[in-house]
Amino acid sequence: MVRLAELPQAGRTITSIPLRATLASALAVGAGGSSGSLADKPLLKDAFGRLIIPGSQLKGRLRHECEKLARGLGWAICRSPDPERMCPQREGSAGNFHRPEYQVEGYAGSHCLVCQIFGNPALPARLWVEDLVCEVPPAALEPTLRPGVTLNRRRRTAEDQRLYLIETSPAAELTFSGSLQLLPDCPSWGKTLLLAALHHLIALGGSKSAGLGWLHWDPGSLQALQPTAADWAFLAQGES
């Protein structure tokens, strides 16, 4: 497994923010096409058989929450994930992107606050997200198969012959750990925006509306983001 903290840093100092999340309900994070299980959507595991929550999923959810928060504060934010609607093109996006806060040294065009953290087709990301790995050994876990049926949204009925099985973790308080890696050029207010986004991120994986994947973050890991009054003040001036 690749660990972001062990990648060559080329003389740069990367800030590592440890993350720990504890499940409050069973987790359903998987992908179709995997073998070795009766489930149509088995749980996602690493090469050692440990349950994981992919860093790509966590990063996507964090970006979504950051976009909502930044828009709520009055900042002009592009519309991901369509490359043509993201910075620096922003096709069809509303808002004033001519403020100096949207300029990034060494890169042409304007880049919204969220792109300055998560990147876009023209700007590298300043945030790396590591997989969250379950701390409980695989041998101590007994996955559960849950049946489901495909619904026809138009007729509001169950589809014929559309039964499927989802593999979930046990309904236990499993703890997952990973990290956020902030590159040196990540803006200081990025920690504050990420902290607020994590407070809004209360569930991961599939079937969240059915009660799966609910979790809470370890307060100690959130304190490591260390928000400052100056960063809060910067984010609050979005409408100015």
Q: Is residue 21 situated within a structural domain?
A: yes
Could you read off the pLDDT of 13-71 as tens digits, one per residue? Answer: 888 899 999 999 988 887 665 556 676 678 888 889 898 999 999 999 999 999 999 99
Tokens read off for 180: 């956020």
Owner of token pair 């959810």:
61
Q: Is residue 113 situated within a structural domain?
A: no
Exposure string for 183-205, b = 16+ CB within 10 A, e = fewer: beebbebbbbbbbbbbeebebbb
Q: Is residue 92 situated within a structural domain?
A: no
Query: Closest by alpha carbon to 152, among 140, 161, 143, 144?
Result: 161
- Phi, psi (deg, nearest 5) at residue 139: -65, -20
Give me the domain span that covers residue 24.
15-71+127-236
Radius of gyration of the chain (CA): 20
134 vs 12: which has the higher pLDDT = 134
Question: Domain of 200: which CATH number?
Answer: 3.30.70
pTM for the full predicted model: 0.85
The DSSP symbol for 43 reads B
Q: What is the mean pLDDT of residues 124-152?
A: 87
Count the domains in the chain.
1
